[in-house]
């Protein structure tokens, strides 16, 4: 992987997050979990490059995010293998599966002490700087309530994270 400045990113984030998806990884190379995410934001806030992630507290990855200062967003691309990994990591729990092994992903440590994968095309290393929880009473568009309750799960925790480093495949 090669380090680049965040300003050098040329990805269309609507395509990258919404169509390609990503793995949210937290923990260390020796003990971590990851989950697939297709919701999130990248931008500029508080004079910093940031990522905004939405994670339900019942997700196993949430425990790792809560116990660490840093979280990585890992993009594998749109190959068939990547799509299979995203599908698996989004539907299976790390409580019951060694997702990296079962998906053929090779964990590697990043500068922030968290984990990425040798197969990544892009890794955003992030440091948590703010957290809140979505509150139904503050939803100004009630149609978004459809994403909550029942089998869909609880309300998301919202994390604003400073992007501290960007690595791309060489």
pLDDT(129) > 90: yes
pTM of the model: 0.94
Q: Is 85 left (phi over 0), alpha (psi -120 to 50) or beta?
A: alpha
pLDDT 10s digits, 69-128: 999 999 999 899 999 999 999 999 999 999 999 999 999 999 989 999 999 999 999 999
**Residue 29 buriedness (CB in 10 A; 0-12 / 13-18 / 19+):** middle
pLDDT for 156 equals: 94
Count of alpha carbons within 13 angstroms of residue 46, beta-carbon side: 9
Which domains does the chain possess?
2-168 (2.30.110.10)
CA-nearest of 93, 80, 79, 98 to 36 is 93
Are 49 and 155 in contact, with CB atoms under 8 Å apart? no
pLDDT(153) > 80: no
Q: In sequence order, what are the residues at sequence separation of 6 or more whose Cβ sits closer than 8 angstroms to the Cβ of residue 156?
A: 54, 55, 56, 133, 134
Q: Which backbone phi and psi does 85 adopt, to 5 degrees?
A: -65, -45
């Amino acid at each position: 992987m090669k380090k680049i400045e965040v300003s050098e990113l040329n990805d269309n984030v609507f395509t990258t997050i919404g169509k390609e998806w990503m793995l949210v990884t937290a923990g260390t190379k020796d003990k971590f979990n990851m989950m697939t995410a297709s919701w999130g934001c990248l931008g500029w806030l508080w004079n910093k490059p940031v990522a905004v992630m939405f994670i339900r507290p019942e997700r196993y990855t949430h425990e790792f995010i809560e116990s660490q200062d840093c979280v990585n967003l890992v993009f594998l691309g749109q190959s068939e293998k990547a799509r299979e990994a995203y599908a698996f990591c989004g539907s299976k729990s790390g409580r019951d599966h060694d997702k990296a092994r079962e998906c053929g992903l090779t964990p590697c440590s990043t500068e922030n002490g968290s984990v990425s994968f040798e197969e990544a095309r892009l890794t955003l290393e992030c440091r948590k700087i703010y957290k809140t929880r979505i509150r139904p009473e503050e939803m100004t568009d009630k149609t978004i309530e459809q994403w909550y309750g029942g089998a869909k799960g609880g309300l998301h925790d919202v994390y604003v994270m400073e992007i501290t480093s960007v690595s791309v495949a060489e």
